[in-house]
Structure 1
Amino acid sequence: MNQLAKRSEVPAEHRWKLEDLFADQAAWDKEYQETKQALKQLEQFHGKLSDAATIKQCFELEDDISLHTERLYVYANMKHHEDMADPTYQALSDKSIKLSVEANEAMSFISPEILSLPSEKLEQLVADPELAFYKRTLDELIRQKQHVLGKSEEALLAQVGNLAQAPGTIFGMLNNADLKFPKVKNEQGEEVELTHGRYIQFLESRNRDVRREAFKAMYDTYAKQKNTLAATLAANVNKNLFYAKVRKYPSALEMSLFGDNIKKEVYTNLIDTIHEHLPLMHRYMELRRKLLKVDELHMYDLFAPLVEEFDMNISYEEAKKTVTDSLKPLGEDYLKVLQEGFDNGWIDIYENEGKRSGAYSWGAYGTHPYVLLNHKDNLNSMFTLAHEMGHALHSYLSDTNQPYRYAQYTIFLAEVASTLNEALLMDYMLNKSSDTKEKMYLLTYYMDQFRTTVFRQTMFAEFEKIVHEKAEQGESLTPQLLSQIYYDLNKLYYGDKMVVDQDIEMEWARIPHFYNSFYVYKYATGFSAATSFAKQILEEGQPAVDRYLGFLKSGGSDYSINILKRAGVDMSSPEPIRQAMSVFKDLLEQMEALAQ
């Protein structure tokens, strides 16, 4: 079937049931009008937030508006994603976005007004039984108070906000629009223009000349712009230093961790523990060299396939069955909800004309979550199904066990449930497989996830830490310094068993995440936490499952680090990262044995 179906031709059993959210357009319009009216009611609270009864009323209205705005927004955008070319839902999506902005603006006075109260008054409010339900919200406001400035300074900082986005915007323009890459030869010897999208495809080529040429072309292009790119990254670092100083944080790193209430040790433990386990990474590089049958392993060989063509054809029905079987260790209750998701219109399964690409899990409080897929009958799509259903069940269990205000979990926790499902699926498939080639294919898939999500993201996190520390000490972030730091880190992480090509020193210049500072470490901690949970569940059984389900039901009812700790994963200690590394070691040994 080469022709994609039109949305109207997609059979009902392959679509999600958005009518569970709104029965029809009329129901959406009615709720939209009601929410617009509710926004006007906020005006009565301006300048009045000083006693428990009024604050409670205001918080209740805030929750009510937020919930309805979210429902309207989610529905409109999911309808839009069914067919991005349909003008009706494009307009509805725009309408819902405007409403969200309006609602945020209308509610923006609440926190600053409460924070402007004297400290003793705030302490009284926290202790007031009438506000018992909102104690966590108030505690969080008080925690932030020391970093919030006076009204006029805050207004000034809000205006600086537009300037603060400049480094990221400039980088985006340079990286996506202005940088022009040369043509390189593909496997057929044809000249093809190098693009961001094609770069990874070239690096995954079985032809080493193709990989080498694409790698060199990519970094030569960045090297020509190194002064501009260094100035742009330095501007972003200086912006972080400015905000940290003005808001009275000890460092830019501690400022970025403050929102999730995460101690600096979580960040430094990750780096230190990965350093302890770098010999495993070096061993994996040596194994890669052997399997590729090359004298020297180069940076452009990191994505080269290790197993000859191996095609796993897995239909959607098979994928569902395999995912269900692999998640049996999580118990009957979990499987019941999973089955409900499969049977009752949570999932939009196949690609259709105009449908948004990729995959996600989303939804609004009060209705079951939804999952958008573009399923292909392959291994990757099966892992995507496991991953997105992990998110969906996390949301479902959080929503059914927490009130609206405390149901939303943080980004720090978001990838744990999805990655855990992938880990259990991988464990199940490895145990079931008797075909050496299939096993090697699976092991390579998993090992590379470790390499890119744990080792590589930790290296990025360490680069950010060093660069900010240098700037805090007054050093100038020249392209030479940035390249030197980056090159040395690559030598450290990949080890002496491979050739760390000089060109890689420019890679810092093409990582968009460096403009969302100190964010990437969450990929590594999330993956490590999930791997640690999977190990505990497979080894301990029920007690570990109960702790894990408790984690899924907690939503955002406490700080992320506390929620994980209660469930048996203490990210303030190196232990979960060590557990993840012991899994990596075990996989490596299995691969080495198969390679004999």
Structure 2
Amino acid sequence: MNKVLKRSEVPVESTWRLEDLFPDQAAWNEEYAKVKQLIGRAGEFQGKLKDADTIARCFAMEDEISLLTERLYVYANMLHHQDTAEPGPQALSEKSKKLSVEVGEALSYVTPEILSLPEEQLRKLAEDPKLAEYKRTLEEMLRQKPHVLSKSEESLLAQVGNVSQAPNTIFSMMNNADLKFPKVKNDKGEEVELTHGSYIQFLESRNPEVRREAFKAVYDTYGKWKNTLASTLSANVTKNIFYARARKYPSALEMSLFGDNVPKSVYDNLIATIHENLPLMHRYMALRKKLLKVDELHMYDLFTPLVEEFDMDIGYDDAKKTVYDSLTPLGEEYRKALQEGFDSRWIDVQENEGKRSGAYSWGAYGTHPYVLLNHKDNLNSMFTLTHEMGHALHSYYSDANNNYRDAQYPIFLAEVASTLNEALLMHYLLEKSTDPKEKMYLLTYYADQFRTTVFRQTMFAEFEKIIHEKAEQGEALTPQELSGIYYDLNKKYYGDGMVVDKDIEMEWARIPHFYTSFYVYKYATGFSAATSFAKQITEEGAPAVDRYLGFLKSGGSDYPINILKKAGVDMSSPEPIRQAMSVFKDLIEQMEQLTSGK
């Protein structure tokens, strides 16, 4: 189907059923009025949060307001995403955003007031049966207490908030608005302007000259601005160190990990275990060189497809069936919930005029989750479907088994459930495939996910760790220093069988994630945990499935490391990363076998 439909033309069965949240606009307005009324009463506990009874009543009110606001917000924004050009839902979305801010302000006194209580009293409250439902909230407040400052200091830090956004804002403006790349030749020999968006397409070209020219053009451009970009990144590191010291953390890294209560050893462990397995990456690079039939493998050869595009035409109904079949290892309970999602219109399937691009899973506590797709009949879309349904079923199980507060799980855990579904789908497709071309296409698709999600993100994580440690020791982060560290890491990760072009030393200058510091490691840990789960499920069967369903049902009822550990994946040990690496090794061996005759 080539024509993009108007929203009104989309068949009802391929749209999500938002009536499950609110039957109509009148019901939304009614709930909105109720929240406005509750906001007026939100301050009634201010200055009184000293005993278990009052705190329990205050928390109950906080939950009621937050849940109603979440429902209003989710509904308004999903309605808006169906057709972003529609003025009604647009206005509703704005209205819900303003309401969220209002609610945040009205309840902002609760946490600081409870935190100002003496530690001994807080400990007693955390053990009080009247507050049993809020035990985690209080324990978390106790954990945060040493890092919360006096009222005047907190007020001062809040005012610094806007200034601290500066490095990120400056980088974004420069990278997205001011930085212009030169014209380069495309596959047809035409001079075209190089952009952020088209860069990867140039690197995917079959012509090595086209790849090389685009690669040099990008890094020459960043090189011209190296002093400015080094100052911007250095300012961001300085900001992190300032906050870490102000809030009494041992380091910027430990401050970043504190929110999820992740020990520093998890971060260090990831890097150490990947170092141990770098020979696998080097072996994959040797295979890439062989398959591309090049004398030298360069940094600009990393995105070139290793096999001819294998066209897999997969309609939505076929995609659903394949996903359903591929998740057989997770047992009937899981597949029943999945089928319910397919049959009960949780999913908004196809593209229409004005619909938000991309895909996501979302929803509000107390109602089933929803999934937005823009389905195309290809392999990628089938992986997107299983990925988003992984998120959706995580929320479904989490909501069904936890109270409102404990049902919210952190990003550290979120990507595990979605990536596990992808791993099982890949396992299923590889088992079923009889066509060597199709098999090779699937193997390279999967192996590249290991390269980009585990190895590359770990290299980024190691770079962030090194530059923060140097700055904490008082060293200056000059462009030469940043480029030297970055170049050496590339040499280490890609190995001697690869030509590590000098230009790559400027890549640090174009990675936006470095402005959301110490975040990228979660991609690598999430992928490794999911791969470890998949391996246990396919090898052990029922006991591993029970542990995994236990993980989904835990939601956010404990710290992420503890939840994973109970389910059989101990991220504080090298084991899950080693299990993921053994899967990667198996992929490389299968690829080597398929190419040995070539």
User: Per the shorter chain, which TM-score range?
Assistant: over 0.9
Residue 192 of structure 1 deviates from its aligned partner by 1.5
Q: What is the Cα-based RMSD across aligned positions, in Å?
A: 0.6
For 1:136 and 1:14, the matched residues in 2 are separated by 40
Partner of 1:50: 50
Partner of 1:587: 587
Residue 121 of structure 1 deviates from its aligned partner by 1.4
For 2:375 and 2:526, the matched residues in 1 are separated by 25
Residue 212 of structure 1 deviates from its aligned partner by 1.0
Partner of 2:128: 128
Partner of 1:315: 315
For 1:517 and 1:346, the matched residues in 2 are separated by 34
For 2:287 and 2:559, the matched residues in 1 are separated by 41
**2:180 is aligned with 1:194:** no
Partner of 2:408: 408
- 1:481-528 C-alpha deviation (Å, 9 max, x unpaired): 000000000000000011000000000000000000000000000000
Partner of 1:162: 162
State the SS of the aligned residue for 1:297.
Answer: coil
5+ residue gaps, structure 2: none
Residue 101 of structure 1 deviates from its aligned partner by 0.8
Partner of 1:215: 215
Partner of 1:15: 15
For 2:153 and 2:116, the matched residues in 1 are separated by 13
Superposition pairs of residues 56-455 of structure 1, within 5 angstroms: 56-455=56-455
Residue 309 of structure 1 deviates from its aligned partner by 2.9
Partner of 1:555: 555
Query: How many pairs were matched up?
Result: 596
- 1:104-151 C-alpha deviation (Å, 9 max, x unpaired): 111111110001011121122112111111111100000000000000
Residue 2 of structure 1 deviates from its aligned partner by 3.1
For 1:340 and 1:200, the matched residues in 2 are separated by 38
For 2:145 and 2:276, the matched residues in 1 are separated by 38
For 2:88 and 2:129, the matched residues in 1 are separated by 48
For 1:346 and 1:552, the matched residues in 2 are separated by 19
Amino acid at match of 1:118: P
For 1:89 and 1:98, the matched residues in 2 are separated by 14
Amino acid at match of 1:499: V
Of 521-530 and 188-197, the range deviating more from structure 2: 188-197
For 1:390 and 1:25, the matched residues in 2 are separated by 30
**2:527 is aligned with 1:527:** yes
Residue 96 of structure 1 deviates from its aligned partner by 0.5
State the SS of the aligned residue for 2:147.
Answer: coil
Amino acid at match of 1:481: E
For 1:451 and 1:236, the matched residues in 2 are separated by 27
Superposition pairs of residues 17-32 of structure 1, within 5 angstroms: 17-32=17-32
Residue 364 of structure 1 deviates from its aligned partner by 0.4
For 1:364 and 1:318, the matched residues in 2 are separated by 29
Amino acid at match of 1:126: A
- 1:354-376 C-alpha deviation (Å, 9 max, x unpaired): 10000000000011100000000
For 1:362 and 1:119, the matched residues in 2 are separated by 37
For 2:271 and 2:92, the matched residues in 1 are separated by 45
Residue 3 of structure 1 deviates from its aligned partner by 2.6
Amino acid at match of 2:469: E
State the SS of the aligned residue for 1:146.
Answer: helix
Amino acid at match of 1:105: E
Partner of 1:491: 491
**Conservation of the 8 A alpha-carbon contact between 2:237 and 2:471:** yes
Residue 61 of structure 1 deviates from its aligned partner by 0.5
State the SS of the aligned residue for 1:547.
Answer: helix
Residue 201 of structure 1 deviates from its aligned partner by 1.1
State the SS of the aligned residue for 2:557.
Answer: coil
Of 575-584 and 179-188, the range deviating more from structure 2: 179-188
For 1:589 and 1:419, the matched residues in 2 are separated by 22
Residue 183 of structure 1 deviates from its aligned partner by 1.1
Residue 87 of structure 1 deviates from its aligned partner by 1.1
- 1:528-586 C-alpha deviation (Å, 9 max, x unpaired): 00000000000000000000000000000000000000000000111000000000000
Partner of 2:478: 478
For 1:86 and 1:480, the matched residues in 2 are separated by 51
Amino acid at match of 2:381: S
For 2:120 and 2:313, the matched residues in 1 are separated by 65
Partner of 1:542: 542
For 1:200 and 1:306, the matched residues in 2 are separated by 15
**Conservation of the 8 A alpha-carbon contact between 2:17 and 2:346:** yes
Residue 204 of structure 1 deviates from its aligned partner by 1.2
Amino acid at match of 2:511: I
User: TM-score, with normalisation over the residues of structure 2?
Assistant: 0.99
Of 244-253 and 126-135, the range deviating more from structure 2: 126-135
5+ residue gaps, structure 1: none
State the SS of the aligned residue for 1:474.
Answer: coil
**Percent of aligned positions with the same letter in both sequences?**
79
Amino acid at match of 2:477: L
Residue 213 of structure 1 deviates from its aligned partner by 1.1
**Conservation of the 8 A alpha-carbon contact between 2:43 and 2:107:** no
For 2:468 and 2:390, the matched residues in 1 are separated by 35
For 1:310 and 1:559, the matched residues in 2 are separated by 42
For 2:123 and 2:407, the matched residues in 1 are separated by 25
State the SS of the aligned residue for 1:192.
Answer: strand
4+ runs deviating over 4 angstroms = none
For 1:87 and 1:221, the matched residues in 2 are separated by 41
Of 378-387 and 201-210, the range deviating more from structure 2: 201-210
**Conservation of the 8 A alpha-carbon contact between 2:289 and 2:297:** yes
Partner of 1:465: 465
**2:481 is aligned with 1:500:** no
**Conservation of the 8 A alpha-carbon contact between 2:309 and 2:441:** no
